[in-house]
Amino acid sequence: MKINRYVDISTIDREAKKDYIDRHSVFVHCENKATAGEKFKVKVKVGEEYKHPDDPDHYIAWVQLWNGEKMLAQTTMVEGAMGSAANQVEVDFYIVPKSNMKLLAMSFCTKHGLWQSEEIEVEVS
């Protein structure tokens, strides 16, 4: 299965960003430092600027959070979970780290497939 990733918009037409890239790209938002054994919040968003459809044949089915090759968490959604209107999927995951992490997120669009974020390094002390 092909894995899609965010593309620097300055290298392509802005309209392509609106129609395809941004609304499908997945982004990890968190602090770059955490404390071992304490709850740590990681927000995963699908789309930074543009909203993704929530139609019966075109919606975000799931979002996963990974540390390297280990899946830490997943949320699954059904069509209509975002009110059957275009929206940005946002999921807050709370994890308890033990050591340094290399976080990335994956999401799946029922029409445009699998999308992967950039890796975010988190130092755990």
Question: How far apart (Å, rounded) are the C-alpha atoms in residues 68 and 119?
Answer: 9
Question: Could you read off the pLDDT of 10-59 as tens digits, one per residue?
Answer: 666 666 666 788 899 999 999 999 999 999 999 999 998 888 999 999 99
Q: What is the pLDDT of residue 9?
A: 59
Instruction: List the domains of the chain with CATH numbers.
Output: 3-124 (2.60.40.730)
Q: Are 124 and 34 in contact (CB under 8 A)?
A: yes
Q: pLDDT exceeding 70 applies to what percent of the chain?
A: 89
Q: Are 7 and 99 in contact (CB under 8 A)?
A: no
Question: Could you read off the pLDDT of 49-103 as tens digits, one per residue?
Answer: 888 999 999 999 999 999 999 999 999 999 999 899 889 999 999 999 999 999 9
